[in-house]
Amino acid sequence: MIGIRTTRMVVLLVTLLAGILTFAGCAAEGAPEPETPAPAAETSDTGLLVFAADGEEHAREGTVSKEGWNITFEHAYVTLADIAAYQTDPPYDVDADGWDLAYDHMVSLPGEFTIDLADPASDPAILGEVADAPAGFYNAFSWHMVRAASGPAEGNSIVFIGTAEKDGETVDFTLRFDQELAYQGGEYIGDVRKGILDAGGEAEAEMTFHFDHFFGRADKDADDPLNTDALGFDPLAALATDGVVDVSLGDLKESLSAEDYARLEDILVHFGHIGENHCIAEPLE
């Protein structure tokens, strides 16, 4: 035991002596200054997250309803607020998780935004951006559709203004919906994958609004679920006076059949998507 201790002491002393001699030698040779800590990596762990909304070509270029009405929008206002994007792992699954959204990072975009999805420049409409968003995959989103406090859509969450034409008949329409809704959905599904933010890079968080759910599509079979569930334009044209229909949601509740109004309520709930991924939604009041 004593031998082992002695050996350890010797090794320690030799090591210390070697260290001292080495240090002295380096100093005598004018050793470089001690290295400063390596600078942090040039790339930060954040990036630019751009929030956008898209009404797709149905809003910007018009659409043909399931009954053959050629519909063009002069304006298609929606008002959005309380917008947020989330990084979730395991990925948020709207069908399995419902409203329970557990996240690692959340980036919110403060403010209220009234945007015109019929504007050709709204491809998509840029709402705002967050410059220091944590890098990662933004695969869940939430927002509210609210009544505009001011502006062209004041008092309404959705305002559609446009013209419908069919067989020589023209109907100018203004549809005003004041229903406020909360939406929540998972990752963007589309022809490209969005929401992947690399450090120092840029990514898009897009909310998508499906206008064909309101009016259906002539290029789909009549028994396609998209058309059987759509309101179409015939029920609205039936309300026109001198070629004009200007109605609120309350007016439609009084005027439409119970079946059509229930259909319209359901359409409003399912208006918001993330690309082609459906959301859950519920009225705010």
Partner 1 sequence: MDSVRALTLIVTMAFLVLAMPAEVALGHGVELSVAPHESIEVNAAYEAGEPMAGAQVAVFAPGEPAEPWLRGSVDEEGRFFFVPDSDRPGTWEVQVRQAGHGGIVRIEVEPAGVVEVTGGGLTPLQKALMAACVLWGSIGTALYFKRRAV
Binding to partner 1 by residue 186, rule CB under 8 A? Answer: yes
Which residue's CB is nearer to partner 1, number 276 or number 282? 276
Q: Which stretch binds partner 1 (CB under 8 A): 71-79, 116-124, 162-170, 188-196?
A: 188-196
Measured from the CB atom, the residue of 14 and 262 that comes closer to partner 1 is 262
Is 48 among the residues that bind partner 1 (CB under 8 A)?
no
Residue 187 binds partner 1, judged by CB under 8 A: yes
Least separation, in Å, of the C-beta of 103 and partner 1?
Answer: 17
The answer to whether 258 contacts partner 1 (rule: CB under 8 A) is no
Does 169 participate in binding partner 1 (rule CB under 8 A)? Answer: no
3-state secondary structure the chain: CHHHHHHHHHHHHHHHHHHHHHHHHHHHCCCCCCCCCCCCCCCCCEEEEEEEEECHHHHHCCEECCCCCEEEEEEEEEEEEEEEEEECCCCCCHHHHCCCCCCCEEEEEEEEEEEECCCCCCCCEEEEEEEEEECEECCEEEEEECCECCCCCECCCEEEEEEEEECCEEEEEEEEECCCEEEEECCCECCCCCCEECCCCEEEEEEEECCHHHHCCCCCCCCCHHHHCCCCCHHHHCCCECCEEEEEHHHHHHHCCHHHHHHHHHHHHCCEEEECEEEEEEECC
**Contact with partner 1 (CB under 8 A) among 96, 100, 167, 257:** 96
Instruction: List residues binding partner 1 (CB under 8 A).
Output: 90-91, 93, 95-96, 137, 186-187, 189-190, 193, 196, 210, 212-213, 220, 225-226, 228-229, 263, 266-267, 270, 273, 275-278
